[in-house]
Amino acid sequence: MNNNNIIIFLFIIINLLNFISCDIKLFFSVNVGDWSDNNNWYDYISSSQTTLPTLNDETYLTLVSNQIVTNHYQKAIASKIYVGGFNYSTNFNSKYGIQTALFQVKDQFAPQEVIFNISGDPLENPDFRIDAETLICAAGCTLRTLGKHFYAPNASVSIYGGVGWVIQDTLVSGFYLDYTLSLLLMSNATMLVENAFIDLYSQWDVISQSTIVINNTLNKFVVKDGSLLNIKDSKISIYNSMLLTGNKTKLTFENSIVDFGLVKLVPISRWVDSQLVFLNSVFDCKHQIIVSGSSLTSLILIKENSNVTFNDEVEFDGDSLLGLYNSKLTTGKSLLFDGASSGLISNSEINIMSQFATLGNSMIYVENSTFLISIPEIPSNWNRFFFVRDNSLLQFKMGSVGILDAHLLTSDNSALEIFDSTMTIAQESVFYNNSRVSMSNSIMSIDQVLNMMDSSLFEVVNSIVKVTNYTSFSGKSSFVVANSEFYIQGQYYDFTQNLNGSNIFNNSLLSVTGSFINTGSLFIFYSNVTVGGEFRNYGTLVTSTSDYVIDGTFTNNEGANFLIEFGSMKIVEGEMVLENNSNMTTYNTSITIMKGSLKLNSGSSLSLLNTQLFNSFGEVTTLGDIIINEGGSLRNDAHFILQSNVLPINNTGGESFINSGTIEMFGGENGIQVLVPFVNKGGNVKISKETSIKTYNQDGGLLVLDDALVHSDETINLSNGSLYGIGTINSSLSVSDGIVGDKAIIGTLNVSGELNSENGQFIFTLDSLTNSTFINIGKNATINNSTLIIRINQYFIDSLLNPTPTPTTTNSTNSTQVFNQTLINYENLSGTGFGEIKFGTYDPTSGEEKSLPSCYSASSSNSGKNFGLLIRSDGCGNVGDGNNGNGNGGNGGNGGKSSLSTGAIVGIVVGIAGGAAIIGTVIYFRNRLPTTQTLKYKVKQITKAQESQSELKPR
């Protein structure tokens, strides 16, 4: 006999001795039979056939190998029921219930199977109940439940190892499940567990439309170390229980519905190096979940159209992982990632009812998904946050993000990346402390404030940013916006102090409805900028190939620098102000003042390098210098007040200053210098005090000298326009089809150079002995085909040529009186002269103009260096009181309303002939300005020799 046979023999002997020492022991003695047949039972104590077992009998279904025992006709009753033993395989198949204190499948060395295929309703007929106090399956055995309902209201079920408990097409309920190792529910099975302390040590498999309901007042559902829970095509509900997991556990839910009910306390479900997997399942948990582990061994995996709800906080820590694919995740409270945890979210939806945070080197990737933070009925004093902090990374790609009830905060070397996505933020957004926010092909809408500080970086590429409140950049923060649109429905503040970097807009649109304030270094390239409010630059602003439209005031503050090139700027209705000592440089740019204004304060400078400054309908006032290079130009169609210099860089003459509006030039103590070619095209120019002009050409329009001293390198050209006023032209004057003089202005005009007139018209007004029009020509006068109009105060001429008689004298009406007046002084006179001379009088009070009375005769006179007027009175008598000849003859015709027309004054044509000698002295000036290549020019003063000459006072 070999050793194995000896061991089996001894085992049988020991068991037989045990049988002998106990009460009645009945054995099922046939290979195949039914419990209800008396002939199938054998009592080894009495060595005889016996009746059916009772509650006093122990029964053994283990006598022969491969035994099959059925129970198809009645309830099986015994004190104890043992299935298997002696290394024999036994199959017990029961369609009825059992009644016993112990039902045990014993032998672990041979496969045993117990099948309960209950055919009736145990709730209506007790014969179908499992009335067992203890139900135990040894390792390697199978407990299989089929039929309608496995109802064990008072049973304690323990299954050890092997296949375990297989529940199929059955409702299993009313038992106490203890120390369970293996469980298999399949094919429409249902298991109800009440008031059980559940410890899961090994594996549960729940598949094929099965249901587990655990109502556990003991408050614990424990998944022990290394255990597996697989739920497939089924439903599991756990109420009043705390889910506790050990290390290296795995829970998998596939095509299932899972509901973790609310408990009275606030339990925490901890996952350490464990896995929670959802496949096309619905999961609802009221507990706080903490997932932690190492090397990504601890995870929650949600995929295949699952719908998972965590009603409390969910925290991933210690290198754990959240995987969400084609599914939906909802958290009733916060979702936190910390301790180098990770998240992979794809084609899914996340709804967070509280805060979100990614911290501590965590990395979250969200692709083609919807990410929403929405807190219903949130109290107004609560603050909720969306954190990206502590070296963590959060990336959205091809998705939608809605942060509706939380503040967005990034900090501490973290990164928020948004690619091909949309992000809506209803609260304040703050980027600070070396954080980075990057966007590409995305849209970000912020309904509150955008605030950047502390060396943070904002990168926007091919994207749209909309901020409905103000945007602020401060500290050492910086931003780069490229190929994007940036809309701010509020104010823009740049208070950065980044000495090593700059803020950049490149090929983008910047639209600000409020104020724009820059104190840092801002570079704008190939972009469009619109500002509805005030635009202030305190720092450095560099613009290239960009266009500006500013409705409010543009101010370049004291000490600030503004460079714009290859672009345009429009001041719509506001102001453009260069404060004291500020600089603005433009290159290949156009600046248009629409209805606003441009002001250059003292010490400021505006450089127009290949730039056109166009004052369309606004007003320009300058106290600071304007510098123009060749290709640069000024154009005024509105109002321009020039109180500073306009200076060239290279003095090439390629610059231009064109006026079609109104320009007032006011020279200060040192005068002003317009050292670029100036063209007046039909506009009005008024010059006061000392002004230097490189060249002046007028085509139509008006030039008014108001006690002015005008220097020019070249001849002042007047064509089809007018010149009048009081002052000195320190150059030559050329008049072509123009008018010199005005009825309303009486005074002396000095021309230090030559006078050339072609078809010109000169208006002289004689108001009194001390108030009349007078022109001094320093050099030669050439007059061709011109017209001379002489207006004489009616009262003045009457009092002069027909004095009122005194008591000692009488006024003979036949006496002849002669009056002469010098009109023009010159060195030499040439040309055809005045082709027409018109004489007439005017009433200084009414302005009425008349021809001379027939008793007056008027003629011109030329004595070599003088051209004058000679009037004779041939006994006209007293035509008026003439103020007794003592007044100034009125105001020179200021009250006149009618213009001097051809029919108003009967003129006479005279030649150039000798006349009475006229005494006059000409004041001479230097004709040329000094040439220099520097930006500043200084007009030389009159030499002492010139100052020593006798001065001619206007007559």
Using the predicted structure, report yes or no on whether residue 174 has a pLDDT greater than 90: no
Q: Does residue 164 contact residue 143 with C-beta atoms inside 8 Å?
A: yes
Nearest by Cα to 324 from 374, 358, 368 = 368
Q: Does residue 328 contact residue 359 with C-beta atoms inside 8 Å?
A: no
Which one is predicted more confidently, 240 or 443?
A: 443
Q: Does residue 392 contact residue 371 with C-beta atoms inside 8 Å?
A: no
pLDDT in tens, 372-399: 988 766 555 557 789 999 999 999 999 9
Nearest by Cα to 39 from 48, 47, 930 = 48
How many C-beta atoms lie closer than 10 Å to residue 902's C-beta? 10
As given in the structure block, the two tokens for residue 794 are 């009616």
Backbone Cα Rg of the chain: 56
- pLDDT at position 454: 87
Which one is predicted more confidently, 936 or 550?
A: 550
- pLDDT at position 430: 92
Using the predicted structure, report yes or no on whether residue 659 has a pLDDT greater than 90: yes
Of 8-12, 638-642, 700-704, the one with minimum mean pLDDT is 8-12
Residue range 855-883: mean pLDDT, rounded: 70
CA atoms of 55 and 99, how far apart (whole Å)? 8
Vertex 521 angle, CA 520 and 527, to 5°: 120
CA atoms of 177 and 241, how far apart (whole Å)? 14
For residue 539, report the phi and psi dihedrals to the nearest 5 degrees.
Answer: -115, -130
- pLDDT at position 417: 96
Nearest by Cα to 259 from 243, 280, 242, 237 = 237
**Alpha-carbon dihedral angle through residues 884, 888, 894, 895, given to the nearest 10 degrees:** -20
Of 15-24, 230-239, 688-697, 798-807, the one with minimum mean pLDDT is 15-24
Using the predicted structure, report yes or no on whether residue 941 has a pLDDT greater than 60: no
**Alpha-carbon dihedral angle through residues 551, 555, 560, 561, given to the nearest 10 degrees:** 40
- pLDDT at position 945: 26
Helix (H, G, I), strand (E, B) or coil at 15: helix
DSSP secondary structure letter of residue 413: T
Nearest by Cα to 355 from 373, 378, 382 = 373
Residue range 618-638: mean pLDDT, rounded: 93
The answer to whether the Cα torsion of 891, 897, 901, 905 is positive or negative is negative
- Residue position matching structure tokens 């900090």: 411
- What is the SS3 assignment for 530-569? EECCCEEECCEEEEECCEEEECCCEEECCCCEEEEECCEE
Most confident of 166-180, 794-808, 906-920: 794-808
- pLDDT at position 897: 29
- pLDDT at position 101: 92
Most confident of 236-240, 747-751, 928-932: 747-751
Indicate the average pLDDT of the chain: 78
Q: Does residue 365 contact residue 347 with C-beta atoms inside 8 Å?
A: no
Residue range 710-730: mean pLDDT, rounded: 94
pLDDT in tens, 882-894: 333 333 333 333 3
pLDDT in tens, 479-488: 999 999 999 9
For residue 947, name the pLDDT band (cuts at 50, 70, 90). Answer: very low
For residue 930, name the pLDDT band (cuts at 50, 70, 90). Answer: very low
As given in the structure block, the two tokens for residue 73 are 């006709």
CA neighbours closer than 13 Å in the CB half-sphere of residue 794: 19
As given in the structure block, the two tokens for residue 787 are 């017209």
pLDDT in tens, 460-481: 999 999 999 999 998 888 899 9
- pLDDT at position 266: 38
- Concatenated DSSP letters for 625-651? EEEE-TT-EEEESSEEEE-S-EEESS-
For residue 177, name the pLDDT band (cuts at 50, 70, 90). Answer: low
Using the predicted structure, report yes or no on whether residue 241 has a pLDDT greater than 50: yes
As given in the structure block, the two tokens for residue 471 are 């945007």
- pLDDT at position 224: 59
CA atoms of 141 and 721, how far apart (whole Å)? 121
Nearest by Cα to 375 from 403, 348, 345, 353 = 353
Q: Does residue 367 contact residue 398 with C-beta atoms inside 8 Å?
A: yes
- Environment class of residue 670 by beta-carbon count within 10 Å: exposed (0-12), middle (13-18) or buried (19+)? exposed
Single pTM value for the model: 0.69
Which one is predicted more confidently, 709 or 105?
A: 709
Helix (H, G, I), strand (E, B) or coil at 354: coil
Name beta bridge partners: 32: 68
pLDDT over 90, % of the chain: 39
**Alpha-carbon dihedral angle through residues 611, 617, 618, 624, given to the nearest 10 degrees:** 30
pLDDT in tens, 397-442: 999 999 988 889 999 999 999 999 999 998 899 998 999 999 999 9
As given in the structure block, the two tokens for residue 10 are 């001894």
Residue range 715-730: mean pLDDT, rounded: 94
Which one is predicted more confidently, 879 or 699?
A: 699
Using the predicted structure, report yes or no on whether residue 244 has a pLDDT greater than 70: no
**Alpha-carbon dihedral angle through residues 795, 801, 802, 807, given to the nearest 10 degrees:** 110
Which one is predicted more confidently, 364 or 233?
A: 364
Q: Does residue 549 contact residue 594 with C-beta atoms inside 8 Å?
A: no
Residue range 774-787: mean pLDDT, rounded: 94
Phi/psi class of residue 559: alpha, beta or left (left: φ > 0; alpha: ψ in -120 to 50)? Answer: left
Of 131-135, 389-393, 797-801, 938-942, the one with minimum mean pLDDT is 938-942
- Residue position matching structure tokens 């780069």: 480
Phi/psi class of residue 340: alpha, beta or left (left: φ > 0; alpha: ψ in -120 to 50)? Answer: left
CA atoms of 581 and 601, how far apart (whole Å)? 8
For residue 806, name the pLDDT band (cuts at 50, 70, 90). Answer: very low
Using the predicted structure, report yes or no on whether residue 698 has a pLDDT greater than 90: yes
Which one is predicted more confidently, 220 or 331?
A: 331
- pLDDT at position 745: 85
Most confident of 82-96, 239-253, 271-285, 824-838: 824-838
- Residue position matching structure tokens 């021309």: 751
Helix (H, G, I), strand (E, B) or coil at 883: helix
Name beta bridge partners: 31: none
Q: Does residue 273 contact residue 291 with C-beta atoms inside 8 Å?
A: no
- What is the SS3 assignment for 648-693? ECCCCCCCEEEECCEEEEECCCCCEEEEEEEEEECCEEEEEEEEEE
Q: Does residue 380 contact residue 402 with C-beta atoms inside 8 Å?
A: no
